[in-house]
Amino acid sequence: IVHWTPFFQTYKKQRYPWVQLAGHQGNFRAGPMPGTILKKLCPQEEACFQLLMQDVLRPYVPEYKGVLDVRELEDRGKTEANNHTDGILTNNIETTNDKEENKGAIVASYLQLQDLLGEFEQPCVMDCKIGVRTYLESELAKAKERPKLRKDMYEKMVQVDPSAPNAEERRLQGVTKPRYMVWRETISSTATLGFRVEGMKLARGGSSKDFKTTRTREQVIEALQRFVDGYPHAISKYLQHLKAIRAALNISPFFASHEVVGSSLLFVHDTKCAGVWMIDFAKTLPLPQHLPRIRHDADWQVGNHEDGYLIGVNNLIEIFEEIKEC
Ligand code: ATP
Ligand code: MG
Ligand code: MG
């Protein structure tokens, strides 16, 4: 299930709007330094950022500045931050043992990241989730353990596409979770193009979240066209950046050794600049021992760990090239 709300968060000190196109709103907050944001710590993502800072992909991901421990008072008005260079969760929690001072306080650890919107003025922002599937092999395996019939998932399925359930599923008025997970990737362009538009925010108002069923190549082209409409310079810059990212991916030890699932490319432009960055590594995992590398452009079959990341990047490049020629 994708929970996401686009919203504006006004920084206390900096006073510029921040756009979040995915994830839970509570997962992000303003960073202590201008140009930084905080994302709730996930140990898997932290491990990725540590490796990425040593990899050829470093220029294409937000700068990672370590783990930050934040004491959140209930009113969220006053916060205290203790800088940690390497975040060990238990240590972080131990840093606040003054009972009186911490009454009603919750301690949370965050990744301190470069704010990719920091250098832009009234930016247009788009989040594209990359890959032919957005769940881990382990998540599918877990769902297959005791597959129960799910009426709620059946209903969600029918709401999007009344013809999706087969005769048996219709008779039982239920589908299993693994069946739902695989089906879900086919209602957007994820399964076919290796990426989908997750959210978009245009400079003036217009933020759209309604891309759940943006599926065909034509529909996707239309959405991307709308995104760059009025910013002709952005198209060639995006193409340059995407090609640079692809070249770096092809020689990256990090990319060769990881399954990159649920990760996004974040596109940002304003009237002057444009850039693309890789974000969200919460579901990026080292490959299992018996699999030293994957191709990233091969078909996914259960168990082969292929993520289709390059299928998505290649299709994005092709589509932007088509848009450029229009
Ligand atoms: P989900 O797993 O649902 O995609 P998440 O909680 O893992 O969400 P992200 O995908 O990392 O969160 O980020 C959510 C949104 O926040 C992005 O779509 C983007 O709009 C914004 N965002 C994330 N990281 C940055 C960054 N470094 N700079 C600017 N914006 C960012
Ligand atoms: Mg994301
Ligand atoms: Mg995520």
**Mean pLDDT value of segment 151-169:** 96
Q: Which structure tokens are listed for 279?
A: 């974000």
280 CB under 6 A from ligand 1? yes
What is the CB neighbour count within 10 angstroms for residue 296?
23
27 CB under 6 A from ligand 1? yes
CA-to-CA distance for 134 and 311, rounded, in angstroms? 14
- Nearest-CA residue for atom 3 of ligand 1: 23
- Nearest-CA residue for atom 12 of ligand 1: 23
Tell me the Ramachandran region of residue 35: left when phi exceeds 0, alpha when psi lies from -120 to 50, beta otherwise.
Answer: left
Structure confidence at residue 30 (pLDDT) = 84
- CA 132 remoteness from chain centre: 14
How far, CA to CA in Å, does 154 sit from each of 22, 137, 160?
Answer: 25, 22, 10
The string of pLDDT tens digits covering residues 60-93 is: 999 999 999 887 764 444 333 433 322 211 122 2
> How far apart are the CA of 48 and the centre of ligand 3, in A?
13
CA-to-CA distance for 13 and 96, rounded, in angstroms? 25
pTM score, whole prediction: 0.88
Contacts of 240 (CB under 8 A, 6+ apart): none
- CA 166 remoteness from chain centre: 32
DSSP state of 223: H
48 CB under 6 A from ligand 1? no
The string of pLDDT tens digits covering residues 231-245 is: 999 999 999 999 999
- CA 239 remoteness from chain centre: 20
pLDDT surpassing 60 at residue 16: no
Closest listed residue to residue 291, CA positions, set 256, 260, 261, 253: 256
CA-to-CA distance for 70 and 106, rounded, in angstroms? 8
CB 127 within 8 Å of CB 264: yes
111 CB under 6 A from ligand 1? no
Closest listed residue to residue 195, CA positions, set 223, 157, 163, 236: 223
